[in-house]
Every structure is written in structure tokens, then in C-alpha cells.
């Protein structure tokens, strides 16, 4: 075992000797690729050095993979030998708590780290070096399980590498959340931001307030386009939804911990609180009868950040019962979740009902509050004190900056980078999650083809995500995360379709060195991971192969098209005659394609290296003309 070589393996960037392709995502900090390979066979030993039980558990995860895919496991031994895969703890100041060193020779493999978390991440890289069939569901025999010779030094750029999962708009079972955590951990994410409450459902058992789940966890099932549903009838059954018991939460926390993932709970307030108000109407400023929303319209959006509610979905800042409620709720949440932060929400709070409420007006006089932003700031301050009293730190969406913010609070910047920049300049810790780079519920390709959402975020744009803006203290930027809102996401298949491969891009932005990103190197690695998703029956979006169709009016009349494709090496073929094109049809060569006068439909396919990639796109010419510039 040539572990001594690690001591000299710190002073070079990524270099390649020979032609071996290394498909690891996120890209390692430093890497040297050699010639040859290490072969794993039933005679190979698994050697967790030392007596640390966590080292032995992590080493055992490799055997779990091999047993499922290859049909054999490695014999566990306690001494150094050749033809072995070693896991060991070392003391190396360059690695921190999550870094690792991976050394693959033709006769042995070693993963070394300061902490067990680093060994876990080293294992993820080792598995990604193995043939993609290691992720398969079926047993493969007479197959060579090999790993290319390589040396890797890998340390994450940020400590906060998150994915947010919204389980309020549509409920995902405990087993589905576990699968979500598995996917996260495979790509070195270490934080699940759990959006547990909103207008469409309250998803966590609170023993002090049982109606939150007996009433607030259920609505009327609707299918179609969320936000445009017809209002449910009074007699329609409210049986769609679900919630996690406190035992479920404890189980998920243990499951995540075994995969080095922390869970950040979010209890949304004061807006987005209709499920809570339907359960306990006295929490509202506005007397009335409330029901959990099913996706029918109750907010009016005017653009430019202007909006108003048709139904008051806010907790009342002037009602002391609200603070008693939050004290008990957040107390139970704090007892359940070991993570040091609690997310209090704070975004998109409609204040039009507050503006005409006498309780709010009295509060403004008593507390000398100048406007509605100051009212929300008062509420945020009260919630911050509650969270602090539970031994936790508060984090919220960037709207909590409006009207002033207590110094100890952290800010999650979602409305672009601006809020994060402002918060950092005020001395607050910041998690960057700007919608224009990391909102993975947005469409990924052409709007005529993608499941409809109000904005588009392409893979290449996500890959350009840079969490540290110029001119701010980088030490205050804790990291970032991908946000997956589920208004339009009804099941796990579509959830994965929306998250991957954009989740690969964001993982690389949060783990890899800033200077290591290279789009042309990233795409072939993504393609290798598509194979892993194929054999494990996980869905993903092939949108990087499929063009966005840009339309322009011609000066002399008529229309012309250009096709914007992200992935290099893709050829686009098209037809206007209602037939289904293949790679023998005309191809786009960079010059605008004139639309025939009598054409009524466009069909497009994409090929790469003679192979069909992506899907057949069918767009009416009438729709194309509507987007013409």
C-alpha cells in the first residue's frame, strides 16, 4: 500500500496520462490518471484498517453494491495486503472533515480520510470509477469489474451542499424521501432542506396541535396544471396527502445521517400558511372558514414582485396566539431535528389583508412600525427569539431582510443574488440559491415540449452557478442548494426527471474548485451517468440534446428558425411535412431555416454519433409564430 505517496500529492492540477476517461461527478479537486486498471474479483479483500466501527460500516457498503450487481462479496480482513481495497483514517490537514484521498494501483486500492465522512465520499468516487453496471438492478455474471489507475485528492469547496424538497404541494412517502437522500449522497450533497408546510399541506406531526395533520395534511386531489384547478366542491373527499409521524422523522434523520446528510426543517411563516390556518382559523387576522388549498388559484401575481391574496393565507403578526402556536411547534421541531438551524420561511407574504386589519394597525401604533415591511420584520424578530430560545439558529428566505433583521439570522437568497449580496454586506451568513440558476422545477428545454412551468432553466445555465459574488466576504457564503418545488411534480419519476442532470451541475458548483469547471468535459461525464440511471431505472431529462427553437420574422415576410442545442456534437434534423424525421432528413447547419409558407407543423429529432438522442419534438407553426421576434 503506497499511502506514503499521498504526502506528495498536493501540488498539481488535473493531468491525464494515456486515454482513460474519469467520469466522476462532481469533478475532483485534483487528479492524476495513469495507465492500467485494478480488477475486483471474488479473491479481492476488503480491508477496513483500525477498529473504528464506522469505517467498517462504510467499507461494507461496497460489499452491498457488489453483492447486488456482481453476485459476490469481498472477504473482510484486518491486515494490509495486495489485491485489496483499503479504507483508513489518517491525519492530513489538507482534507478537513469531508475530504479524501483515493489511490488506485493495478494491485491495490486505498481510500484515506481524516473523518469517516471523507471515506464515505471517497467510496462514492470509487463506485463512479467502476463500470456503470454497478448501479444495475440485475445480477451480471462473467463480467470484469475494473477501476482505472488514478490518484485523487478531493476536498469540497463549500460545507453547505443542499437540495430542497417540497413535500407540501405533493406528499412524498418516507420511502421516497429515502430514495431522494440516496440520490443526493451519491453526488456528495450533504443537506436536505425539508419544506414541510405550505398552503397545500402540513406534513409533520405536532403533538401539541393534532389538527395540523388530521385537517392540515389533506386536500382534494386534482390533476392537471397546478394553480389553474377548479375550486373543490364542498362534498369532494379530502383524502389526498399525508404526513410524517415524529417516529418517521426520527427514522429519516437516522437514515440521512448514515449517508452523511443533515436535514434542515422548514416551517413556513407568516405567508404560505393556509394549511395551518385551515386547522386553526384563530391564527389568522381575517375571520372566516378556511380549507387546505388543492392547487386552485387564490393568489394574484402582477409581476415585478407584486402580488395579493384572494384568501388570507398568513399567520397574524398582531395575534399573541400565533406566537404561542409557533413556540410549541418550533419547540417540538427543535427536539426532533439535531441540525443547528430551523428555516422559518418568510417569502411571498401577501400583506393586502394586513393593510385593512385593525389589529395590525394597533400593532403598528404600539410598536412604532412604519409600514407592512416593518410589520413582517416585527414578526420575524419574534420568531427569531423563539428559535433562539430552542437552542437553534434561524435561517429564512431573503424577504426576511425587508424592514431589518437580527444579526444572528442567516439568509437564503432565492430572488437572484441580490439578497445574498445585501445580507453578506450586513454581516449575515448566506446560502445562495438563486432561482435563475438552481430552481430545478423550471422547464429544461423548449417550452412547447417541456411540462409547463412559468420559467426555463437549462442545464448549461445551472452549470454556470457561482455561489460567491464579487465584492462580498467569501467566508459568509456557506454554500448553496438546488430547490425543487413540487407544484407541478406529482410523483417520484417526474421528480427525478426535473432534478437530474441539473443536480449534477449544481453538485459540481458546490463541491469542485471554481476553476475546474469545463462544460465540454462535463457533458461526457453526464452521459456516462445517464447510463447509471438507465440501469437503475431512475428517470432523467435528456433536454440537453433537444434544441430550443428560436423564431424570427423575416423583413420580407415569413419566418425563420434557429435551433439552440446545449450538448456538443449533436446534429438536429427536421421536417415540415408531418413525417417523422431521422438522421437522413435535412440537418441544421447554423444557418436559419426558413419556414415553408404552407407548413403547419415542425418535427425535430437530435442525433449524436449516428445515434438517436432525446425525443421527437412536435411543435405547431402557429405556436412558433406566437414567439416570433
Cell 433536454 -> residue: 543
Total-model pTM: 0.96
Torsions phi, psi of 30, nearest 5? Answer: -140, 145
Q: Is 258 a catalytic residue?
A: no
54 labelled catalytic: no
pLDDT in tens, 458-482: 999 999 999 999 999 999 999 999 9
Closest to 54 in 3D by CA, of 91, 87, 97: 87
Question: CA 600 to CA 596: how far, in whole Å?
Answer: 9
Structure-block grid coordinates of residue 550: 428560436
| Rounded Cα–Cα distance for residues 610 and 571 (Å) | 9
Q: Where are the domains of the chain?
A: 3-154, 160-270+320-347+384-535, 543-626
**Is there a contact between 433 and 412 (Cβ–Cβ < 8 Å)?**
yes
The C-alpha atoms of residue 50 and residue 63 are separated, in whole angstroms, by 18
DSSP state, residue 298 = -
pLDDT for residue 403 = 84
Sign of dihedral through CA atoms 353, 356, 357, 361?
Answer: positive
What is the Cα–Cα distance from 334 to 386, expressed in whole angstroms? Answer: 11
The residue among 82, 45, 37, 80 whose CA lies nearest residue 62 is: 45
Instruction: List the chain residues with pLDDT less than 50.
Output: 4-18
Alpha-carbon distance of 410 to 420, in angstroms, equals 10
Please state whether beta strands 145-154 and 191-195 pair in parallel, antiparallel, or not at all (unpaired): unpaired
**H or E, element range at 326:** helix 320-336
Known active-site residue 508: no
CA distance 375 to 366: 11
Q: How far apart are CA 382 and CA 351, in angstroms?
A: 18
Q: Cα 540 to the chain's mean position, in Å?
A: 13
Diameter over CA atoms, the chain = 80
Backbone angles phi, psi at 151, to 5 degrees: -120, 130
CATH no. for 3-154? 3.30.379.10
Helix axes 246-257, 320-336, angle to 10 degrees: 50
Q: Which helix (H) or strand (E) holds 471?
A: none
According to DSSP, the residues that pair with 39 across neighbouring strands are 146
Cα distance between residue 481 and residue 462, in whole Å: 11
Pick the catalytic residue: 98, 312, 348, 399? 348
Does 160-270+320-347+384-535 match 3-154 at the fold level?
Answer: no
Burial degree of 428 (CB within 10 A; 0-12, 13-18, 19+): buried
Tens of pLDDT, residue by residue over 269-326, are: 999 999 999 999 999 999 999 999 999 999 999 988 899 999 999 999 999 999 999 9
* Cα–Cα distance, 503 to 332 (Å, whole number): 32
Per annotation, catalytic residue among 86, 272, 428, 529: 272
Report residue 617: phi and psi, to 5°.
Answer: -100, 130
Q: Which CATH class is domain 160-270+320-347+384-535?
A: alpha beta
Contact 500, 541 (CB under 8 A): yes
Task: Quote the CA–CA distance of 260 and 115 in Å, as a whole number.
Answer: 11
Res 406: pLDDT: 84
Q: Which among 30, 98, 166, 198 is annotated as catalytic? A: 198
Please list, in sequence order, all residues whose beta carbon lies within 8 angstroms of the beta carbon of residue 408, skipping any fewer than 6 positions away.
Answer: 384, 388, 393, 394
Query: Which CATH architecture is the domain 543-626 placed in?
Result: Sandwich (2.60)
441, 487 Cβ separation under 8 angstroms = yes
Q: How far is residue 162 from each of residues 68, 70, 100, measured CA to CA in Å?
A: 29, 32, 20
Please give the helix or strand (H or E) that residue 414 lies within, else none: none
Amino acid at each position: 500500500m503506497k499511502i506514503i505517496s499521498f504526502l506528495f500529492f498536493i501540488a498539481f492540477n488535473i493531468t491525464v496520462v494515456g486515454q482513460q476517461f474519469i467520469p466522476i461527478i462532481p469533478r475532483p479537486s485534483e487528479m492524476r490518471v495513469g495507465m492500467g486498471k485494478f480488477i475486483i474479483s471474488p479473491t479481492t479483500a476488503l480491508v477496513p484498517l483500525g477498529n473504528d466501527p464506522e469505517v467498517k460500516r462504510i467499507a461494507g457498503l461496497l460489499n452491498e453494491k457488489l453483492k447486488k450487481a456482481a453476485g459476490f462479496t469481498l472477504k473482510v480482513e484486518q491486515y494490509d495486503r495486495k489485491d485489496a481495497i483499503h479504507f483508513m483514517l489518517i491525519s492530513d490537514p489538507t482534507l478537513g472533515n469531508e475530504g479524501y484521498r483515493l489511490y488506485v494501483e493495478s494491485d491495490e486500492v486505498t481510500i484515506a480520510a481524516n473523518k469517516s465522512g471523507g471515506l464515505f465520499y471517497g467510496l462514492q468516487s470509487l463506485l463512479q470509477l467502476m463500470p456503470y453496471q454497478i448501479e444495475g438492478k440485475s445480477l451480471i455474471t462473467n463480467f470484469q469489474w475494473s477501476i482505472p489507475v488514478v490518484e485523487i485528492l478531493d476536498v469540497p469547496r463549500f460545507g453547505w451542499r443542499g437540495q430542497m424538497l417540497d413535500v407540501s404541494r405533493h406528499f412524498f412517502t418516507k420511502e421516497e424521501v429515502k430514495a431522494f437522500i440516496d440520490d443526493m449522497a451519491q453526488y456528495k450533497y450533504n443537506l436536505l432542506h425539508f419544506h414541510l408546510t405550505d398552503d397545500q399541506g402540513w406534513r409533520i406531526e405536532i403533538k401539541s396541535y393534532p389538527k395540523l395533520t388530521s385537517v392540515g395534511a389533506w386536500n382534494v386531489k386534482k390533476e392537471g396544471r397546478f394553480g389553474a384547478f377548479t375550486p373543490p366542491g364542498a362534498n369532494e373527499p379530502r383524502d389526498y396527502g399525508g404526513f410524517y409521524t415524529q417516529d418517521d422523522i426520527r427514522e429519516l434523520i437516522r437514515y440521512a445521517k448514515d449517508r452523511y446528510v443533515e436535514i434542515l426543517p422548514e416551517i413556513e411563516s407568516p405567508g404560505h400558511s393556509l394549511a395551518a390556518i385551515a386547522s386553526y382559523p384563530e391564527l389568522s387576522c381575517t375571520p372566516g372558514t378556511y380549507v387546505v388549498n388543492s392547487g386552485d388559484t387564490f393568489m394574484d401575481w402582477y409581476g415585478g414582485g407584486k402580488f395579493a391574496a384572494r384568501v388570507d393565507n398568513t399567520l397574524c403578526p398582531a395575534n399573541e396566539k400565533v406566537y404561542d402556536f409557533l413556540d410549541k411547534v418550533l419547540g417540538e421541531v427543535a427536539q426532533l431535528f439535531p441540525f443547528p438551524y430551523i428555516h422559518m420561511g418568510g417569502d411571498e407574504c401577501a400583506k393586502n389583508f394586513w393593510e385593512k386589519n385593525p389589529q395590525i394597525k394597533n400593532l403598528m401604533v404600539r410598536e412604532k412600525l412604519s409600514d407592512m415591511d416593518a410589520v413582517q420584520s416585527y414578526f420575524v424578530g419574534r420568531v427569531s427569539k423563539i428559535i433562539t430560545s430552542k437552542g437553534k439558529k434561524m435561517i429564512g428566505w431573503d424577504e426576511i431582510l425587508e424592514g431589518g433583521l437580527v444579526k444572528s439570522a442567516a439568509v437564503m437568497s432565492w430572488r437572484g443574488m441580490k439578497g445574498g449580496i445585501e445580507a453578506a454586506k450586513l454581516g449575515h451568513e448566506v446560502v445562495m440559491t438563486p432561482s435563475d440558476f438552481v430552481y430545478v422545477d423550471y422547464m429544461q428545454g423548449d417550452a412547447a415540449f417541456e411540462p409547463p412551468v412559468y420559467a426555463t432553466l437549462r442545464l448549461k445555465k445551472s452549470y454556470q452557478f457561482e455561489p460567491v459574488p464579487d465584492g462580498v466576504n467569501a467566508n459568509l457564503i456557506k454554500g448553496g442548494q438546488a430547490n425543487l418545488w413540487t407544484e407541478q411534480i406529482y410523483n417520484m419519476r417526474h421528480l427525478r426527471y426535473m432534478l437530474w442532470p441539473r443536480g449534477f451541475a449544481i453538485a459540481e458548483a458546490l463541491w469542485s474548485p471554481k476553476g475546474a469547471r469545463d462544460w465540454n468535459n462535463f457533458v461526457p461525464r453526464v452521459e456516462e451517468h445517464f447510463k447509471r440511471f438507465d440501469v437503475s431505472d431512475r428517470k432523467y431529462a435528456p433536454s440537453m440534446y433537444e434544441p430550443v427553437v428560436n423564431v424570427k420574422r423575416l423583413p420580407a415576410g415569413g419566418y425563420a428558425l434557429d435551433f439552440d442545442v446545449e450538448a456538443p456534437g449533436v446534429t438536429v434534423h427536421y421536417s415540415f411535412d408531418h413525417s417523422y424525421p431521422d438522421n437522413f432528413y435535412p440537418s441544421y447547419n447554423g444557418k436559419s431555416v426558413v419556414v415553408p409558407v404552407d407548413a403547419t407543423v415542425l418535427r425535430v429529432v437530435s442525433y449524436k454519433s449516428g445515434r438517436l438522442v432525446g425525443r421527437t419534438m412536435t411543435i405547431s407553426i402557429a405556436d412558433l409564430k406566437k414567439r416570433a421576434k
